[in-house]
Structure 1
């Protein structure tokens, strides 16, 4: 009893306990630091919250711009400078889309997601510079062509170049969205849609053809069906087997890109009238080994009407810059408001120029 109540003994055991606790804490902290990313709060001298923050995967928005989207085609900036850029609907559409995704208070990204514009080399350097000034990342890419691929419309001659995005493996997910879109609410959540989870490639022997390149071990390709007209319900139907490639989310993959290119070397493997859309419909057919997944219907509607907007849809696929009388008047008015808002925004930012 005397030894137990001795102050020196008590002090000794107390020091021993504290030393043991300190060693345990050091080992555990070292273990955590081995597996957890450094806290972004620590880098800024702020107190970390009571949860672990994992750095997000690298994601991006993207669109495509070609020089031959209009009947007039120019082979140099000297020729193009005599042409009014405002007559190029796809160029204006790309500018409006850049504004909507990057700067709009109602539709812009809340996560600083970059916006990539891929274009062919014959797109005017002036147009590229303007889009870069608007905040887009410009990537000039080579065409993808095949002698037997003759699109139904001459302005689609270069659309296969969209597939170059699958070579950009520095990104984990990309949302491709055609330039002819009205966006009315943030699309950031599409990258967390259940359909964008990586899936294993299937191994159905009947869908493996010897003249086609190898498939990737995993893939991700998510989109929605083509509705083929304005008379659709909202929510729109999702049971169609035919996808629309004006709006799709994917994971870039060199193996997948090489597979697409191998299809171009096989005349008649898909209907070339809608070149890249029908190639993707073949590659990701429902009975194949990489079936496309269905995104939530509210992210995007093609052949859209005011009914879709009032139902809660967030983006609408139509060429609202042209005079097509079939376009929904209400949605065309919203797009024109967005264009005016974009022009005012850049006039202010560019010092009135």
Structure 2
């Protein structure tokens, strides 16, 4: 796994009595040095989620909700609750949980409290703190999106072949494991069109994966809330180089606008649509009745469709009941 620092304790390993252990430890440290600047993991790997044995991962991103003022349904941090709901549905809910031991990773910004991280770790997730990625020219359309460019750190998780990146307002209704086997999840070659290569951008990777569904508010555009991707340091640096160029993309929807620029249908790495049964933006109760696997909708809103809202709230109450039932319902 990616490690930013290594702490050694117990000076006895360097004593003459244990020369072999000392040499082995020294070699181990040297092997880890190339990884010292990459993102660090916090918390303990849950024994039920063996990260080292999975090719795939589920991932979400959490930053503090500046508008949250309490714990009631009207003023709690809904994105924290939504993150907990995702973890519950992906790891514990018998109806929706992974059957392939696929881990759940939560990327958190530096200002997410330790108590929040501890709760997510107890819920079964692996919590990864990510450093801020700031681009002064980018002006998000909403205050809530000020930190979403930090999501790009997901591409540094190169120990995984594929990752499904989910927003915290995704509600899961059916298992998602099979999405990694979809044709749309295949890694594709860069098309290599010379006209789509720009000298002021870092090199494009030779292969890539970017798949999802269209955004309901932008014609033909990829929605950033439900994305299948392949981690790659090459594409990570490609993204960063583009984000540093003022005006290269819109920026009101920061990471989404960046991805739609890089993965334009006319570019070298066009994004691919996944089958529509996997998720829906602006869903209705009819989508639920038709067997949709997940919906992209805020459970605390959805006033326009009371039947669907009841389904979404049920997911929240099931999560809370599960943790209360095993005596771990404290936050």
Asked if Structure 1 and Structure 2 have the same fold, meaning a TM-score greater than 0.5 normalized by the shorter chain, the answer is yes
1:187 aligns with 2:166: no
Q: State the structure with more CA Rg.
A: 1
Q: Classify 1:215/1:281 alpha carbon distance in 2 versus 1 (closer, same or farther; 3 Å).
A: same
State the partner residue of 1:337. 314
Contact 1:121 1:142 (8 Å CA) reproduced = yes
Unaligned runs of 5+ in 1: 1-54, 73-81, 230-239
Normalising by structure 2, what TM-score?
Answer: 0.80
Task: Report Cα offsets for 1:267-324 as digits up to 9, x if no partner.
Answer: 00000110000000001000000000111111110111112122221100011124x5
**How many angstroms apart in 1 are the aligned matches of 2:110 and 2:206?**
33
SS at match of 2:309: helix
Shift of 1:325: 2.6
**How many angstroms apart in 2 are the aligned matches of 1:140 and 1:248?**
20
Normalising by structure 1, what TM-score?
Answer: 0.75
Q: Classify 1:130/1:351 alpha carbon distance in 2 versus 1 (closer, same or farther; 3 Å).
A: closer
State the partner residue of 1:219. 208
Off by >2 Å, runs of 4+ in structure 1 = 69-72, 82-86, 350-353
Which of residues 141, 151, 166 in structure 2 aligns to 1:162? Answer: 151
Shift of 1:95: 0.6
State the partner residue of 1:44. none
* Stretch moving more, 243-252 or 103-112: 103-112
Q: Classify 1:312/1:258 alpha carbon distance in 2 versus 1 (closer, same or farther; 3 Å).
A: same
Contact 1:241 1:285 (8 Å CA) reproduced = no
Which of residues 93, 99, 104 in structure 1 aligns to 2:88? Answer: 99
State the partner residue of 1:49. none
**How many angstroms apart in 2 are the aligned matches of 1:277 and 1:121?**
22
Task: Report Cα offsets for 1:137-173 as digits up to 9, x if no partner.
Answer: 1000011110000101011000011110001101110
Which of residues 289, 309, 323 in structure 2 aligns to 1:346? Answer: 323
Task: Report Cα offsets for 1:161-205 as digits up to 9, x if no partner.
Answer: 111000110111000010101111000110001011111101111
Q: Classify 1:184/1:139 alpha carbon distance in 2 versus 1 (closer, same or farther; 3 Å).
A: same
CA RMSD of aligned residues (A): 1.9
Residue correspondences, number: 277
Which of residues 116, 131, 137 in structure 2 aligns to 1:142? Answer: 131
Unaligned runs of 5+ in 2: 1-51
1:70 aligns with 2:66: yes
SS at match of 1:245: strand
Give the helix-richer structure, 1 or 2: 1
Q: Classify 1:157/1:352 alpha carbon distance in 2 versus 1 (closer, same or farther; 3 Å).
A: closer
* Stretch moving more, 151-160 or 311-320: 311-320
Shift of 1:124: 1.0
Which of residues 236, 249, 257 in structure 2 aligns to 1:270? Answer: 249
**How many angstroms apart in 2 are the aligned matches of 1:84 and 1:348?**
20
**How many angstroms apart in 1 are the aligned matches of 2:104 and 2:227?**
15
SS at match of 1:312: coil
